Amino acid sequence: MKLFVDYNNNNEINQENFALAEKEKEISALQSKMENSANKAQQADKVYGELKTLYPGILHGLIKPQELKDSTHTVTLWQVFIQTRNRVPNSEETKMKNWLKTRLEPDSIKLVLTR
């Protein structure tokens, strides 16, 4: 008895399996990115609450991570926008920025204070 092997069919199956594996990698990467974004959003909310406790003069604020990418690196820039009742002295602004750097562990941080 002779067995006939259809190499064209095997090749199609291999191509479909490869395409399926690539799609699964893409889905996994997107899920990871979504989880990372959600974690950063939760972290931002928590840090904002702590910041309001430390600085009761804060009226409004927004803490937002921004990912900056080039061909080889990804850098997280945390943008922090705070509105206060009164002008914040430079020494307090420096303390706030240092606290944010310690708390957020960013690659970079941009703090904008307004009154």
Q: Is there a domain that residue 1 lies in? A: no
| More confident: 14 or 62 | 62
Q: What is the DSSP letter of 106?
A: -
**What is the domain count for the chain?**
1
Q: Is there a domain that residue 66 lies in? A: yes
pLDDT in tens, 21-75: 889 999 888 888 888 888 888 989 999 999 999 999 999 999 998 888 888 888 8
Q: Is there a domain that residue 69 lies in? A: yes
d(CA 15, CA 9): 10
pLDDT for the residue 68: 85
Report whether pLDDT(9) > 80. Answer: no
The pTM score is: 0.68
Percent of the chain with pLDDT over 90: 34
Q: Is there a domain that residue 2 lies in? A: no
Which residue range(s) make up the domain with 33? 7-114
d(CA 30, CA 36): 10
